[in-house]
Structure 1
Amino acid sequence: MSNDPTSVADARARVTELIRAARICMLTTIALDGRQVSRPMGLQEAEFDGDLWFFAYTDSAKLRQIRVNPEVNVAFSDQRHNSWVSVSGTASESSDTERAKRLWNPLLKTWFPDGLDTPGLTLIKVHASSAEYWDSPSSTVVNLLGFAKAAVTGRPPSPSENREVTY
Structure 2
Amino acid sequence: MTTTHDDQLGTVAQIMKDTRIAVLTYVAPGGSLVSTPMGMQDFEHPGTIWFITERDTDKVHAIEADPRVNVSFSSKSGWVSLTGTAHVDEDRAKLKELWDASAGIFMSGGPEDASNVLLAVDGATAEFWESPGKVSTAIQLAKGLVSDAEPDLGDNATVTL
TM-score (norm 2): 0.91
Aligned partner (choices 30, 35, 39) of residue 38 of structure 1: 35
Aligned partners of 2:90, 2:114: CA distance in 1, in Å?
12
Give 1:7 deviation, angstroms: 0.5
> Is 2:139 aligned against 1:157?
no
Give 1:46 deviation, angstroms: 4.3
CA RMSD of aligned residues (A): 1.7
C-alpha contact 1:20 1:47 (8 A) present in aligned 2: no
Provide the residue aligned with 1:100 in structure 2.
95
TM-score (norm 1): 0.88
Give 1:82 deviation, angstroms: 5.3
Q: In the alignment, residue 152 of structure 1 is paired with which amino acid?
A: V
Aligned partners of 1:13, 1:138: CA distance in 2, in Å?
17
Give 1:15 deviation, angstroms: 0.7
C-alpha contact 1:23 1:46 (8 A) present in aligned 2: no
Aligned partner (choices 96, 106, 110) of residue 115 of structure 1: 110
Give 1:23 deviation, angstroms: 2.3
Q: Secondary structure at the match of 2:62?
A: helix
> Which structure dedicates a bigger proportion of its chain to helix?
1
Aligned partner (choices 129, 133, 141) of residue 134 of structure 1: 129
Aligned partner (choices 122, 140, 147) of residue 141 of structure 2: 147
Provide the residue aligned with 2:8 in structure 1.
11
Q: In the alignment, residue 146 of structure 2 is paired with which amino acid?
A: V
Aligned partners of 1:60, 1:54: CA distance in 2, in Å?
14
